[in-house]
Structure 1
Amino acid sequence: MLPAVMTSPTAPLTFRTGFAADPAARAAVAALLKPVFEIDIAPLERLGGWEDGSVPFAWFEGDACIANVTAHPKPMMLQGKAVTPWSIVSVATRPDRRGRGLFGDLMARALAHCDRETDLVILGTATPDLYRPFGFRPIGEHAFAGPPPAPVPASGLGARRLDLADDADAARLVALFGDRAPVSTICGLRADRPFFMLKALEEPHISLAWLEALHVVAAIEPDGTCLRLLDVVGPAIPPLAAILAELGTGLGGQRLGGQGLDGPSSRIEVYFPPDRLAWQPAEIMPEDSGWMVRGPWPLDGVPAMFSPMTL
């Protein structure tokens, strides 16, 4: 077993792992990621923190994080089975320390940990060739589209856009993740709060609609008469017709994130398998979100994708 702390023989760096509960170390990782990916994970500190079970592997120079790879369990439903693969995230090396083998060293450590926990490791990336040498391969992804289902009566309670800068709204969403139903039995996450939060913060065109009657939050992109449904978070997944009914009464002419629905939606696009939506899509659309797997993947040849609200 690798020691928890060690000194590199070639540089004044210190290896650290298992520091997910250390606020200063988490802040150091956030400081590394922000200029590399132009993403700020610091707001997670008030939105429930890192994913439960996260295991970071990092090289530090004093208090500064120079390189990092984090592994964490990613509970989900795959083909009707509850499974817990592990995921690799927050992979970064400070530009002035690249080319010294830090990335490869940390990937080897992280994957050794994952291999003790699971036979399936996943990651999302815009640079797949970087991960092929570690045994990762791309997977096929598909979204779903078609006309809306037959309308159903709305409750009258409608929808309201959540604001993650508001403490009450943030607490409501964090609480929903504590009792989350997978959005799909074919390919649906059972947790994933930090990544959902980050996606919403980083892409303000995504609207988080609280549907009080259904007790769910729907992540949507309204665009003219097309509605893109990216994810649903709640203790049970309602039919698409019920979601549309509540969105229609609550959002009406309101414009969300600079966009809005110009009357009833004539086209629905769903970015996860719609098996729980009581809706039959007319079209299956190829997608490429950069997901890769290492190990057995049960959805080869099956139209499916992870929600875009995960990272």
Structure 2
Amino acid sequence: MNQYHFKQSFSADPTLSDKLFDLVEDTFPGLSSLAECGRKLGASWETASTPFIRFHDDVAITHVGVLEIPMHIMGQRVTAGGVHAVATRAEFRRRGYYRQVMEEVLEYCDQLYETLVLTTPQPEFYLPFGFRIVEEQIFKLQCDCTGDTDGLRILNFADIKDFTLLHRLLETRTPVSNVVGVVKEKPVFCVNEGSRSLYYVEDLDLIACMEIEDCRLHLFDLVATQICSLKEILARIPQHIEEVVIYFSPERLDVKDVQSFPHKLDETVLMVRGTFAAEGEKFMLPRSARC
């Protein structure tokens, strides 16, 4: 049986969360606020992530987190390990601490997952550990559409009905794509999307992670028990839309004349370690599932 030196437990140490976020906030300003959004939506970081932390005089100096992401890849259910919130304090860098922690993380993960995923603007940090870059695509199509009904409303999570609705759909959602999608996942979604406006289409029973910029619709994810066509979604947006940009493989949206382009979402790349059946396909890991 392996003995881990850096693996920690939030439940065993009630002070651990504050020590961790003191570190990660120094590396990723604003992440603590996003994590708090997740907690308010009932999907806490502490219940989802397994932290591997190196300490120096009771101060967290290096962290690598691991969480599970239930994915749908090329039509098959895959439980992937998500590596996230990798951080080392500036004054402790270049001393080999990150390597020590990461090697232990991989020893742990190799017993549990055939696939590891992460997203990063700095892939060079992960290439030495067997991670590889997988190219992602966005999908664009031109249209001339103005919906004939106002079928959207922004969810209000202070209302228990909307809070319950979100959890129901996250628990029962169908993957947004058969190439790469996510099912029954809450913590990453709530951290990534909890501070943004989420739109609900009541007659379709669908949550849309989307933004409208002038006459351009950016569609990042759909949370529903049944994926409808893009035409049905556009019909419920009472605004002129000339272009739709889709940030996931759109084969379930019943669209034609779609063009795909290589794209780095927020200047990050997707990296995988182990098997990944969608490699070489045209897809993007939805924004809501990126860690």
TM-score, normalised on structure 1?
0.81
Change in 2 beyond 3 A, CA 1:131/1:222: same
Where 2:249 maps in the other structure, the secondary structure is coil
Instruction: Determine if the alignment matches structure 1 residue 220 to structure 2 residue 210.
Output: yes
For 2:152, give the aligned amino acid. Answer: A
CA-to-aligned-CA distance 1:150-208 (integer Å, 9 cap, x gap): 88875x6x2111245x3534443233212222111111011442333333356x5xx31
Instruction: Determine if the alignment matches structure 1 residue 303 to structure 2 residue 282.
Output: yes
8 Å CA contact 2:48–2:187 kept in 1: the answer is: no
Distance 2:7 2:107 in 1: 15
Instruction: Determine if the alignment matches structure 1 residue 49 to structure 2 residue 44.
Output: yes
2:79 maps to 84
8 Å CA contact 1:149–1:279 kept in 2: the answer is: no
1:3 maps to 3
Distance 1:232 1:17 in 2: 34
2:100 maps to 105
Change in 2 beyond 3 A, CA 1:193/1:23: farther
Change in 2 beyond 3 A, CA 1:107/1:76: same
User: Alignment length, in residue pairs?
Assistant: 282
Where 1:280 maps in the other structure, the secondary structure is coil
Which runs of at least 4 in structure 1 moved beyond 6 Å after TM superposition?
Answer: 149-153
2:223 maps to 233
Change in 2 beyond 3 A, CA 1:20/1:308: farther
- Can you give the 5+ residue segments of structure 2 that lack an aligned partner in the other structure? none
For 1:198, give the aligned amino acid. Answer: V
8 Å CA contact 2:88–2:98 kept in 1: the answer is: yes
Which of 129, 135, 152 matches 2:130?
Answer: 135
2:193 maps to 200
Distance 2:285 2:274 in 1: 17
Where 1:243 maps in the other structure, the secondary structure is helix
8 Å CA contact 2:117–2:273 kept in 1: the answer is: yes
Question: RCO greater where, 1 or 2, for CA within 8 Å and sep 6 or more?
Answer: 2
2:269 maps to 290
Distance 1:69 1:281 in 2: 42
TM-score, normalised on structure 2?
0.86
Change in 2 beyond 3 A, CA 1:63/1:116: same
Change in 2 beyond 3 A, CA 1:219/1:51: farther
Where 1:109 maps in the other structure, the secondary structure is helix
Instruction: Determine if the alignment matches structure 1 residue 17 to structure 2 residue 8.
Output: yes
**Aligned-pair RMSD on alpha carbons?**
2.6
Which of 50, 54, 58 matches 1:59?
Answer: 54
Change in 2 beyond 3 A, CA 1:281/1:24: farther
For 1:42, give the aligned amino acid. Answer: E
1:257 maps to none
Distance 2:235 2:3 in 1: 56
8 Å CA contact 2:173–2:226 kept in 1: the answer is: yes
8 Å CA contact 1:218–1:231 kept in 2: the answer is: yes
Distance 1:218 1:189 in 2: 14
Identity fraction in percent: 30
- Can you give the 5+ residue segments of structure 1 that lack an aligned partner in the other structure? 7-14, 253-262
Once the 2 structures are TM-superposed, how far is the Cα of residue 89 of structure 1 from its aligned partner?
Answer: 0.6
Distance 1:174 1:57 in 2: 29
Change in 2 beyond 3 A, CA 1:98/1:82: same
CA-to-aligned-CA distance 1:120-142 (integer Å, 9 cap, x gap): 21111110001110011100111
Change in 2 beyond 3 A, CA 1:22/1:220: farther
For 1:187, give the aligned amino acid. Answer: V
